[in-house]
Amino acid sequence: MSNKLIDILDDEKKVDKLNEDYHYRQSVVPRLEKLKNLIWREEIPGITNDEQDDDLNFVHDLRADLKNYPQHRVTSIEMKECNKLWKKYKS
């Protein structure tokens, strides 16, 4: 009996972790989608197509990591880069 209780508790921890990962992605992925759409705009004065492509690739790779590896978290360096891109394309 006690083995089953341990299994149940372990499963609950696993479910909690899955829920935590899900909620994290639900809060971050839409923001990355907004950033991608902001960068995707056709003609942006002062920004070359190559530069725009590099920025899109960065955001795409970050989104793919979050989708493919649920335990992945955006690092502070990645977050700073996203904030820099947001300011760059928002103006």
Whether 9 has a pLDDT exceeding 60, the answer reads no
The residues spanned by each domain of the chain are 2-90
What pLDDT score does 86 carry? 92
The first and second tokens of residue 67, run together, are 């989708």
- Furthest C-alpha separation in the chain: 68
Report how far apart, in Å, the C-alpha atoms of 54 and of each of 46, 64, 86 are: 15, 15, 14
Place of tokens 């639900």: 26
Q: If 0-12 CB within 10 Å is exposed, 13-18 middle and 19+ buried, where does residue 89 land? A: middle
Contact 85, 34 (CB under 8 A): no
Whether 43 has a pLDDT exceeding 60, the answer reads yes
Share of the chain above pLDDT 90, in %: 46
- pLDDT category at 35 given cuts 50, 70, 90 is very high
Between 3 and 12, the higher pLDDT residue: 12
